[in-house]
C-alpha cells in the first residue's frame, strides 16, 4: 500500500469533518425567529444588519466556546492523568461562578473583563485544589477521580448557591450556570477570542503537555520543567472556563466527550489530536445550539440543557463501547 493510499482515509475524514462544520456554520446564520434567506441577505439592509449584529456573533461565540471548552477538557485530563474529568465536573466551572458572584457583590457595576478576571482567579484556585487532592487518590482506581470531581464540584456549587440565596442573587447565578447563546450580540462576546488565543497556546505547548501526562518522575527525567508546565496548564484551563462562564454560562460535557471521542479515533498525541478535538467541540456546541432553536421554535432551549442530554448519551455510549472492546 502506498503512502498516498494510506493517507486517503484520513484525508476523507478531514474533508468530511470540515464540510460538516461549514454546513453547521452556514445553518446557524439562517436559523432563527427572524426570517432570513440568501436572497434577502444581499437585498435587504435589515437582514444584513441581523446577521452582523446577532447571527454572526452568536455563531462565532458557539464555535469559540465549543473549541475552547474541548481543549480545556483535554488539558485537564492531561493534568489529572484521567480521561473522565472536565472543567464542569471537577469544580472549575463552579469555582468560576463563585468568583463572578464575589465580584458582583463587591463591585456591582464591574465591567465584563473584571468579572472574567475574578472568575479566572477562583477557577485557578479551585482547579489547583482539585488536582492536589486527586493526586492523592490511588492510581489503580481511575473511576474514583470523576466521582471525587462530582462531589467536589457539588460542594463548591452548593457554596455558591447558598451565598447567592443569602444575598438574593440566585437569578444572577442561574444565568452563569446555564449555558445559552440567546443573549450574544456584537460587543458582548469578544472576550471569547481570548479563549481562542489560549487554544493556540495549548497547541504551542502540546508536546510538553504530552510529556507531562507521563507523570512527574518521567517528565523531570526527560528534562521537562514539570512545575512550570503544570502551572501553565492550570492557567489555560481556568482562564478558558472563566471566560466561557462569564460570556455564555456553563456548558457541560464538551470537554469530556470531544477528547474521549478523538482519542478513540486518533490516539493520545496532543499535537496531532488537538485540532480534531477543537473542531469536534465546536461542531458539537453549534449543532446543539441549532437544535435548541428548532425543538420548540420559535422559543429556544438553552444549549446547556441540550448538551446535558446529548453529552450524557454520547459519553455513556463511549463507556459501553469501551467495555465491549475490552
Is residue 73 in some structural domain? yes
Is 35 contained in some domain? no
Alpha helices in the chain (DSSP H): 3-30, 38-43, 45-50, 56-80, 92-106, 112-134, 144-166, 170-177, 192-204, 206-212, 216-221, 226-247, 254-266, 270-295, 303-325
Q: What is the pLDDT of residues 19-59, one digit of tens each?
A: 888 999 988 888 877 767 677 777 777 878 888 888 899 99
Question: 43 in a domain, yes or no?
Answer: no
The SS3 assignment for 298 reads coil
pLDDT for the residue 6: 39
pLDDT in tens, 56-115: 999 999 999 999 999 999 998 888 888 888 888 888 888 988 888 888 888 888 888 888
| Residue 5, in any domain of the structure | no
Question: What local confidence, expressed as pLDDT, does residue 323 receive?
Answer: 47
Domain of 211, CATH number, reads 1.10.3470.10
Cβ distance 81 to 140 under 8 Å? no
Q: Is residue 154 part of a domain?
A: yes
pLDDT of 18 higher than 90: no
Q: What is the mean pLDDT of the chain?
A: 84
Q: Which domain holds residue 138?
A: 49-325
Note whether 65 and 192 are within 8 A (CB).
Answer: yes
Q: Tell me if 197 is assigned to some domain.
A: yes
Does a structural domain hold residue 12?
A: no
Q: Does residue 321 lie within any of the structural domains? A: yes
Residue 89: predicted pLDDT: 81
Overall domain count for the chain: 1
| pLDDT score of 324 more than 60 | no
The three cell numbers of residue 236 are: 489555560
pLDDT of residue 224: 84
Q: Read off the pLDDT of residues 115-156 as tens digits, 9 standing for 90 and up.
A: 888 889 999 998 888 888 887 888 777 778 888 888 898 899
Q: How would DSSP label each residue in 5-46?
A: HHHHHHHHHHHHHHHHHHHHHHHHHH-SSS---HHHHHH-HH
Render pLDDT for 253-308 as a digit per residue (tens, 0 to 9).
899 999 988 888 777 777 778 889 999 999 999 999 999 998 888 888 999 899 98
Q: How far apart are CA 79 and CA 89, in angstroms?
A: 15
Other C-beta atoms closer than 10 Å to the C-beta of 48 total 14
Yes or no: say if 167 and 105 are a contact pair by the CB < 8 Å rule.
Answer: yes
Amino acid at each position: 500500500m502506498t503512502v498516498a493510499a494510506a493517507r486517503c482515509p484520513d484525508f476523507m475524514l478531514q474533508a468530511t469533518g470540515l464540510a460538516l462544520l461549514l454546513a453547521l456554520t452556514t445553518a446557524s446564520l439562517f436559523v432563527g425567529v427572524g426570517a432570513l434567506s440568501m436572497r434577502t441577505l444581499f437585498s435587504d439592509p435589515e437582514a444584513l444588519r441581523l446577521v452582523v449584529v446577532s447571527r454572526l456573533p452568536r455563531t462565532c461565540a458557539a464555535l469559540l466556546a465549543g473549541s475552547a471548552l474541548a481543549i480545556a477538557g483535554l488539558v485537564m485530563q492531561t493534568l489529572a492523568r484521567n480521561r473522565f474529568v472536565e472543567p464542569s465536573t471537577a469544580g472549575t466551572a463552579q469555582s468560576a461562578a463563585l468568583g463572578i458572584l464575589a465580584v458582583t457583590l463587591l463591585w456591582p457595576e464591574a465591567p465584563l473583563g473584571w468579572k472574567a478576571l475574578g472568575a479566572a482567579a477562583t477557577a485557578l484556585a479551585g482547579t489547583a485544589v482539585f488536582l492536589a487532592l486527586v493526586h492523592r487518590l490511588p492510581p489503580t482506581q481511575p473511576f474514583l477521580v470523576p466521582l471525587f470531581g462530582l462531589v467536589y464540584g457539588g460542594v463548591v456549587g452548593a457554596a455558591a448557591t447558598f451565598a447567592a440565596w443569602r444575598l438574593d442573587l440566585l437569578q444572577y447565578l442561574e444565568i452563569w450556570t446555564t449555558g445559552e447563546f440567546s443573549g450574544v450580540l456584537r460587543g458582548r462576546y469578544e472576550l471569547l477570542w481570548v479563549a481562542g488565543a489560549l487554544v493556540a497556546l495549548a497547541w504551542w505547548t502540546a508536546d510538553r503537555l504530552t510529556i507531562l501526562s507521563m507523570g512527574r518522575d518521567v517528565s523531570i527525567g526527560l528534562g521537562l520543567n514539570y512545575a512550570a508546565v503544570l502551572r501553565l496548564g492550570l492557567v489555560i484551563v481556568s482562564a478558558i472556563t472563566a471566560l466561557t462562564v462569564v460570556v455564555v454560562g456553563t456548558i457541560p460535557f464538551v470537554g469530556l466527550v470531544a477528547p474521549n471521542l478523538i482519542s478513540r479515533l486518533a490516539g493520545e498525541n496532543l499535537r496531532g489530536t488537538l485540532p480534531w478535538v477543537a473542531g469536534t467541540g465546536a461542531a458539537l456546541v453549534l449543532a446543539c445550539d441549532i437544535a435548541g432553536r428548532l425543538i420548540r421554535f420559535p422559543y429556544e432551549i438553552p444549549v446547556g440543557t441540550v448538551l446535558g442530554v446529548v453529552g450524557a448519551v454520547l459519553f455513556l455510549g463511549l463507556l459501553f463501547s469501551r467495555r465491549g472492546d475490552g
